[in-house]
Copies of this chain bind each other. A is one copy, B any other.
Amino acid sequence: MRDAFDALFAPASVALVGASDDASRIGGRPLRYLREAGFKGRVLPVNPKRETVQGLPAYASIAALPEVPDTAILALPAAATLQAVEECAARGVRSAVIFSAGFAETGAEGEALQARLTATARAAGMRLLGPNCLGVFNPALGYYGTFSVILDREMIHPGPVGIVSQSGAYGAHIAHLARARGLGISQWITTGNEADIDVAEALNHMVRQPDTKVVMAYAEGVRDRDLFIEALETARQMHKPIVFMKTGRSAVGAAAAASHTAALAGSDRVFDAVLRQYGVHRAATTAEQIDVAYAAASGRFPAGDRVGIFTMSGGFGIQLADDLEAAGLDVAPMPEDAQKELLDLLPYASPRNPVDATAQAVSDLNVLKACVRTMMERGGYDAFTAILGTGPGSKTYADPLREALMQALAGHEGSIRALTMSAPVEAQRRYEADGFLVYEDGSALAHSLGALARFRDAFDRPASAPAPMEPLPLPQGPLSEAGAKALLKQAGIQFPAEHLAPDAEAAVQAAGALGYPVVVKICSPDIAHKTEIGGVAVNLKDAAAVRQATAEILARARAKAPGARIEGVLVAPMVPGGVEVIVGVTRDPVLGPVVMAGLGGIFVEVLKDVTFRAAPFDVPEAHRMLREIRGYALLEGVRGAEPADIDALARLLSDLSRFAAAHRDGVVGIDLNPVRVLPKGQGVIALDALIELEAP
């Protein structure tokens, strides 16, 4: 017996509760679609008021059904839904799809009602999709458990694209756009309010389907963080690109998302970084999402980044070169001698790359062939692109042009071939049948080729493999700086040699042992922001200065934070030089423990130049994380400065991520600010540490 979740997509029998004889109504459409598509399973309409529905015998209730269906589609008002779910549960129905809105998205009352749906289903071992969703479909089986109007005029072809969407309308829209682009769909699921099945579980299912070569996803947020990350990593390891539309990136969008399907709003920047971490392409627009999915649906990726451009119009060639470079690809020039050969062939040509063969190549296809062949044999291009204009739309010229290209490219089947053209869709399909990617717009082509190259990079990486860390026993209550450092030292984080001194004399002694100059800082679990109460004195050069500063700091702490438990002062050496960075751990409401890193000072405050990763991650991932910082060059050394010990910083980030993951329940946040990255080979030192623990 298959899993109840899988049965949602391939039921042997389906009950339609609230079935309508009117094929245009929500309770009528699924029946109409199932019949039009020739679904082979048993379809069981439930309608107490009718003998037949759209020609099929109807049943008065779920209890009256002649068999227990694999799935029940509930096309009922919100008020009638709970009872239907209870009846399904009582009957042993394995899964149910709930279309109706009017649950958690409407406020506390709806939320309570939705919680009862969930509880009823869970108690019975029944899976729920929705409420407030458009259902599922599986074109290969002709199974359409949806009332989406996009099927009004035309069904969907089976194909390589899996679609997972929280929003029903969005999921339907991209299915429609994919169909218009000639792309078939493997399976389609919309999760709506996610009373049970969420987008993370649906993604996990989708990426594992053998027919699915690429997944288009839409989400405003994610409920099950671990399952979500598992889905992304599984897709990466299976070399299945995910093209993601994540909304709610603006403040007003996030507010709307929170009130929509009642999804939690985390930080959009964190979500963005985590998608990057797992090699997912985040689309900025729906058009981009379709363009990239279209390119990825072939399951083929360029072996390298070198792209050749063949054009018969200089302007378009320049535009495509700009766009390809912006997409991170390499518009590498032809070798000098090959350029000379091209000029012998075509004296007016620009032979470098873009190879502009001018209008002469239009009129003489032998010239075009020779030109393209030279490009591919001599240019070493991983992708071939050509700008064909209206040629492929011409009745007399279309076939000879396509055949000339095919002949010229013979022997280079390993490279990606992508074209732009202004031609009717039938002409485009003929090129596609011959293995070409076809775009109307060069920018879309370039952007999509770039996405393919980045997918390849992500797929080529070994899995991030941070060594697991045994959880440490966490102390009770808040931690002082000394307490935080003692804990993090066990995770391998390096701090300066420093002493906790209860009073001025002990501080002087500690300073003497460390050597001058020193820093003296108040040490208390109850004082998180030391500078604000005057609790820090730097660059103390002798015993007298230490004695006086310590006395003053202790006095100020007692005066300004009267209830605080004072452990004493930390006496630490001044650490000169290095590049200042800040490192932290936060618990994102959606994506859980994440590590943040950025350059210190104005870079963080003015430019918000920070980056994130979901914990835990290994050292190579930490390096990729750091390279996302705009001011990364500062770590590599500018103005003749020595390069900083980036390796040590990457190790610190990975170690901190392992600590954060091991203590995800107990640790709310960590600040290491500042951290000094010393010159290469000399390591990294966190000067301060603050840990916020979960209140007991």
Contact surface of A with B, Cβ cutoff 8 Å = 101-102, 105-106, 149-150, 152, 165-170, 173, 176, 218, 220, 245, 247-253, 255-257, 259-261, 284-287, 312-319, 321-323, 325-326, 331, 333, 347-348, 350, 352-354, 356, 358-359, 389-390, 422, 441-444, 602, 605-607, 630-631, 633-634, 638-639
CA distance A315 to B192 in the complex (A): 10
Tell me which of B220, B314, B443 contacts A256 (CB under 8 A).
Answer: B314
- What distance in Å separates the Cβ of A338 from its nearest Cβ neighbour in chain B? 16
Minimum distance in angstroms from A605 CB to a CB of chain B: 5
Known: A170-B315, A170-B319, A250-B322; 18 extra A-B contacts, CB below 8 A, are A105-B348, A106-B348, A152-B390, A167-B313, A168-B313, A169-B312, A169-B313, A173-B316, A247-B315, A250-B326, A250-B331, A252-B333, A253-B322, A256-B352, A256-B356, A259-B352, A606-B630, A607-B631
* A442:B286 contact, CB within 8 angstroms: yes
Measured in the bound complex, the distance between the Cα atoms of B255 and A353 in whole Å is 10
Chain B hits for A101, CB < 8 A = 348, 358-359
Given contacts A105-B348, A150-B390, A256-B314, contact A247 B166 (CB under 8 A): no
Is B602 in contact with A256, judged by CB distance below 8 angstroms? no
Minimum CB–CB distance for A304 against chain B, Å:
16
Query: In the complex, are the beta carbons of A253 and B169 less than 8 A apart?
Result: no
CB atoms of A252 and B325 under 8 A apart: yes
A313-B167, A318-B256, A605-B639 known; A443 and B325 CB under 8 Å?
A: no
Contacts of A105 in B (CB 8 A): 314, 348
Give the residue of B316, B333, B350 whose beta carbon is less than 8 angstroms from that of A170.
B316
Q: Are B331 and A252 in contact (CB under 8 A)?
A: yes
The answer for the CA separation of A278 and B218 in the assembled complex, in Å, is: 39
Contact in complex: A318, B248 (CB < 8 Å): yes
- Bound Cα distance A285, B445 (Å): 11
Interchain nearest-CB distance for A416 vs B (Å): 19
- B638 in contact with A286 (CB, 8 Å): no
Listed by A's residue number, 24 A-B pairs whose Cβ atoms lie within 8 Å are A105-B314, A150-B390, A167-B315, A169-B316, A173-B316, A173-B422, A176-B422, A218-B315, A245-B319, A247-B319, A249-B322, A249-B326, A251-B325, A253-B318, A253-B319, A256-B318, A256-B321, A257-B318, A259-B350, A260-B315, A260-B318, A286-B443, A287-B443, A605-B633
User: Nearest chain B CB to A248's CB is how many angstroms away?
Assistant: 6
In the bound complex, residues from chain B placing their C-beta under 8 Å from that of A169 are: 312-316, 389
Docked pose: A218 CA to B319 CA in angstroms: 10
Minimum distance in angstroms from A147 CB to a CB of chain B: 10
The 9 A-B pairs at the shortest CB distance, nearest first, are namely A167-B315, A169-B313, A260-B314, A250-B325, A285-B443, A253-B322, A170-B315, A253-B321, A247-B318
Q: Is A325 within 8 A of B634, CB to CB? A: no
Contacts of A322 in B (CB 8 A): 247-250, 253
